[in-house]
Amino acid sequence: MARGELIRLVVEVMSSADPTLVGLHGIVIDETKNTLIIRTSFGDKMIPKDVVVFRFSPPNGESVTLEGRYLVLRPEDRLRKIHG
């Protein structure tokens, strides 16, 4: 999961250095090196990866919890590690 595509996955913020982010959930619509952009019922939110623990729910139904600091890479660099 940490090496795969995150866009279109359902995600929830499980914990964060910013308590206002905890519980935020939606669908990942974009990603940069340092942030995920999540479409929520309150609009699109830009979430910093390095201070958050995420729970991703891929289509297979098995949720995966990851510390965002392990995702701080450009998406194309993370994907390249899979195929490289």
Q: What pLDDT, on the 0 to 100 scale, is given for residue 62?
A: 86
Tens of pLDDT, residues 67-79: 999 888 877 766 5
**The CATH homologous superfamily of the domain defined by 10-83:** Ribonuclease P/MRP, subunit p29 (2.30.30.210)
pTM of the model: 0.84
For 53-62, the CB contacts below 8 A with 24+ separation are 53/13, 53/14, 53/15, 53/16, 54/11, 54/12, 54/13, 54/14, 55/11, 55/12, 55/14, 56/1, 56/6, 56/9, 56/10, 56/11, 57/9, 57/10, 57/11, 57/12, 58/1, 58/9
Tens of pLDDT, residues 4-59: 689 999 999 999 999 999 999 999 999 999 999 999 999 999 999 999 999 999 88
Q: Say which residue, 3 or 30, is predicted with more confidence.
A: 30
Q: What pLDDT, on the 0 to 100 scale, is given for residue 79?
A: 58
Domain ranges of the chain: 10-83
